[in-house]
Chain A
Amino acid sequence: MQNDIQRLLEAANQIILGKDRQIRLAVCCLLARGHLLIEDIPGVGKTTLAHTLARLLGMNYQRIQFTSDILPADIIGASVFDSKNHEFKFHPGPIFNQMVLADEINRSTPKAQSALLEAMEEHQVTVEGVTYSLPEPFFVIATQNPSHQIGTFPLPESQLDRFLMRIELGYPDPKSERLLLTGQNRHHLIQTLSEQIAPQQLQALQQAVTGVHVSNALLDYCQGIINFTRESSEYHCGLSPRAGLALLTAAKAWTYMDNRDAVIPEDLQAVLASVAGHRLRSGNNDSEAIVAPILAKVAVH
């Protein structure tokens, strides 16, 4: 099964050039049943990444553009009066898709944000007393612009916590950029992609990830990291128990992708920046820099 993942990654790398690690993390997040937050300036390929993944995984894909006047009903849907049948009929919103791209989520008001985030957590929406389940697998990729940009409502900590990972794409390196400039139109390329992993297969993979072995020695290291964030003066507040669970789940998925059956400290370290970066506030927005003290000071035994 890992071969399928490998093929998927290779195909994605053909579209988004020079971002192997970010794509790997995005797939890792997907395998760990988490949602992904991509934070970067416009135009570095956030939407392209989401679109590519949707195509490769054969999932229903819908994009929601968040604007400052978007309403919860625009996301989850609304009941409309059907004059033929003389009754209200629920029209599902764009969230009723397996993969949802919430573009520029921090441009909308907190009310609309929370409508999406609730659905992400519960995997269901409730409209006028009726609960509707969301399709499985359900995966949200949200993008946000750096909060220093004009017209943004930064996501509060409690909602940032709903995202398993936050990654930054960044500018491509010169070589990739040259290829990008000389290559074909990305939209056309995406249309040519074929499904690599079917949704049912993805669910099986997600199930397999949970079977990855975690040893006591690794848990010691994991707790060492958590305690360090709680006691160090570098962070305003340490990692929550939920964050600790997220870290372990992501590390398991990473291990699985690497075709191993037991997590080693390097796996934790690999996902640490993207899992813990947005949960730790240290006056810095660069995830790698935020977790650097942890990697340097928490001893691996």
Chain B
Amino acid sequence: MNPNLAHNKEILVFLLTSLGLIVLPHVTHLPWGVFGFFSFLLAWRFIGIWKPEKLPSFPWIVFLIVCGMAVLYTQHRGILGRDGGTSLFVIALGLKLMEIKTERDLYLINYLAFIVAASQFLYEQSILMAVYIVFVSCVLLATLVFINSHIADTTVSLKKAAAIIAQAIPMAIIVFIFFPRVEPPKWLWFNDPQQKKTGLSDTMEPGSISDLGMSDELVFRVKFEGALPPPKNRYWRGPVLTLTDGKKWVQARDFTYQRYLDKPKFSGPFYRYTLLMEPQEKDWVFALDLPAEFTKPLAQNANYQLTTSDDLRKRTEFKLTSYPTYNTGYLTKTEYKDARQLPALPSERIKQLVTQLHGYDRPPEEYITRLLNHFRKEDFHYTLTPPLMEDNPIETFLFETRYGFCSHYASAFVYLLRVAGIPARVVTGYQGGVYNELGNFLEIKQADAHAWTEVWLENKGWARFDPTAAVAPERVEKNIDINSLVPNGAINYAAPDSSLAALNLLKQARKLWGHIDYNWQRWVINYNNANQSIFLSSFGINDFKTMVYWMMAIVGIITAVLSLILLYQKPKQIDPELAVYNRFLKKLAKQGYVKQPGEGASDFAERIKPLLTEQVDNIENITSAFIMQRYGNNPSDEGLKKLSKLVSLFKL
């Protein structure tokens, strides 16, 4: 073989290809400058395989290093933090490619590549990425195998590397389950300005929720301990918006009345569930209306919305209990004032409408019923792409366009109630969720974002009303299927039986994938200190010491089993005459007469005959009988018996 492996073309092609595979997924989050610089160096090195004279000389390498530092500085202003650190590794890897001189450099690059592969998990922890990284590690290992084997064969190397990984995986799983979890230090969560999460905001303007309307992004998942609540009760409470300037709705500023609030009275059935929040920017936790039991770090604000003091930029799990039937009791003065706030005096048209619907002269319940009927009977339409309403959007919506979605209906409804002097407010959050039968959980996506209203009624407290349901009951009782939105933006409520079988299969596959992904998030990504102790205590492992013992014992067993498989060799089927002859050899070997491996029977006999003069005949007989049986023209059972007898009688 070529003495200098660093110039072996096959090895270089293999190594560089695997490097390309490793850095490839970084394309989505590394700055273009860094990625471009690396690709440029990689391409240069590829050319260098066939044209070594094209590789940079020492001054050029120094220049490239300066360039690399410049790229790093301009993109990240340093090397601290996740992005800066990853870029540093990628650039260093690219620069190291320029000086592959000895075998040692190949190893160094390979190890560096493993680090870059691992850094991928700082960005994405999905199951697909994990599979990809395992594949890439396999290619990297194969490169190492390739360098170290005298048979340079890609397939053989890949097979060997795959076998190594397959043997390592059980070990990795055991160590993953039992190894003490260390919570990552806070600096890892340094805010990276590049990542922005979409989601509900704490204000509402016409159109703000429709931005989310088409987003398929997952917000949270809920797993119920018992039966699921019916779709019409699936309201996931988010920020409550009380104050408005006629266009924009915001939360109340003053929450000091919270301590004067009545405790809500719960009644009827309740739901216990586990909520798994996807990473988000805000500290909101979307509980089912209305949460009754929760534990720290959760807290409830004056609007009954749950917030957390934990960092929600990683996935978090909460165990909650909610009651769909409740009475919040009396209303405080501040609430009363805020919930009747109007941006300006209502116009004549509005007053007329309220009078027409008996807003001023009948009880609030009756007015509400008339109002909902008004939305239902008049020519109101539900659409995610309503016409623009620049000035006075509520009036424009009520009297002119009559096309809108939940935020339009909720704000108009609250406004009309307030004009009649009834306290009301807008609640935002999510409504509905797709049930995954396989995993028995609900998936709530950004598209489920919704706005509804709460009206304070005597003896009932804050009661929920959803004017959108009056216009488009399907929106609430079923769920909008994003796939069936027609191009012009109107929503098409196609009956499910009209969908094709293929579409069903696709949905089925999506649900299965959702289930797998849920379990991956639940059991792998979110397997933290708390989850580990819960999981292990279900096996009766309660303290740290037992946990480490268990880990060591299982790793030991796996090692033993693997080494047994690797070291155990099936004994070769030995021909009978050879077995007999070996017995003869053993007898001789005891006395120090050992046959050399490459020595034939007859040569051996000739060699030992002069040393064992009194056994010459026996040795000759045995040897010739053996040769007759083993190499002869017609070996026979009698011959074998004779040989066996001779050997048995042979004594030294």
Which residues of A come within 8 Å of B, CB atoms?
Answer: 213, 215, 217-218, 233, 261-266, 269, 294-301
Contacts and interface: CB of A to CB of B under 8 A. Distances in A.
B600 A213 contact: no
A85 to B, nearest CB: 58
Contact of B597 (A217, A264, A300): A300
A298 B150 CA distance: 21
Contacts of A296: 596-598
Instruction: Provide the main secondary structure of the chain B interface.
Output: loop
Given A262-B631, A262-B632, A264-B631, A217 B575 contact: yes
Interface string B586-607: 0000000000111111110000
Contact of B631 (A263, A294, A295): A263
B598 A297 contact: yes
Given A217-B575, A266-B603, A298 B630 contact: no
B627 interface: yes
A269 B602 CA distance: 12
30 contacts: A213-B631, A215-B630, A215-B631, A215-B632, A217-B575, A217-B630, A233-B150, A261-B632, A262-B627, A262-B632, A262-B633, A263-B631, A264-B600, A264-B627, A264-B631, A265-B631, A266-B600, A266-B603, A269-B598, A269-B600, A269-B603, A294-B598, A295-B598, A296-B596, A296-B598, A298-B598, A299-B597, A300-B597, A300-B600, A301-B578
A247 to B, nearest CB: 15
A294 to B, nearest CB: 8
A248 B631 CA distance: 14
Contacts of A264: 600-602, 627, 631
A300 to B, nearest CB: 5
A212 to B, nearest CB: 9
A261 B631 CA distance: 10
A265 B635 CA distance: 17
Interface in B10-25: none
Contacts of B628: 262
A298 B598 CA distance: 5
A256 B596 CA distance: 26
Nearest to B1: A233
A300 B585 CA distance: 13
Nearest to B577: A217
B598 A300 contact: yes
Contacts of B603: 266, 269
Nearest to B572: A301
Interface string B126-154: 00000000000000000000000010000
A56 B601 CA distance: 35
Instruction: Provide the main secondary structure of the chain A interface.
Output: mixed
Nearest to B151: A231
A297 B597 CA distance: 7
B578 to A, nearest CB: 6
Contacts of A295: 598
Interface in B599-646: 599-603, 627-628, 630-633, 635
B443 to A, nearest CB: 59
A261 B599 CA distance: 21
Nearest 8 interchain pairs by C-beta: A265-B600, A299-B597, A266-B600, A213-B633, A215-B631, A262-B631, A262-B632, A264-B631
A37 B295 CA distance: 97
A260 to B, nearest CB: 9
B632 A300 contact: no
B68 to A, nearest CB: 42
Interface in B311-344: none
A217 B627 CA distance: 10
Contacts of B632: 213, 215, 261-262
A299 B633 contact: no
A261 B633 contact: yes
A297 B596 CA distance: 9
Nearest to A225: B598
A217 B631 contact: yes
B630 A300 contact: no
Residue among B596, B598, B600, B601 having the largest count of chain A Cβ atoms under 10 Å: B598
Nearest to A300: B600
A268 B600 CA distance: 10
A265 B122 CA distance: 65
Given A264-B601, A269-B603, A299-B598, 15 more contacts: A213-B632, A213-B633, A261-B632, A262-B628, A262-B632, A264-B600, A265-B601, A265-B631, A295-B598, A296-B597, A298-B597, A298-B598, A299-B597, A300-B598, A300-B600
B321 to A, nearest CB: 71
Contact of B601 (A213, A294, A299, A300): A300
A242 to B, nearest CB: 24
Contacts of B631: 213, 215, 217-218, 262-265
A199 B599 CA distance: 37
Contacts of B575: 217
Contacts of B602: 264, 266
A296 B602 CA distance: 16
A242 B198 CA distance: 75
A5 B603 CA distance: 23
Contacts of A299: 597-598
A168 B625 CA distance: 36
B608 to A, nearest CB: 15
A84 B632 CA distance: 64
Interface in B420-435: none
Contacts of A294: 598
Contacts of B578: 217, 301
Nearest to B635: A215
Contacts of A265: 600-601, 631
B456 to A, nearest CB: 90
B104 to A, nearest CB: 23
A213 B630 CA distance: 12
Nearest to B581: A301
Contacts of B599: 300
A301 B599 CA distance: 9
B207 to A, nearest CB: 75
Nearest to B630: A217
A294 B596 CA distance: 13
Contacts of A261: 632-633
Nearest to B596: A296
A1 B217 CA distance: 95
A263 B631 CA distance: 7
A217 B603 CA distance: 17
Contacts of B635: 215
Contacts of A215: 630-632, 635
A228 to B, nearest CB: 10
Contacts of B598: 269, 294-300
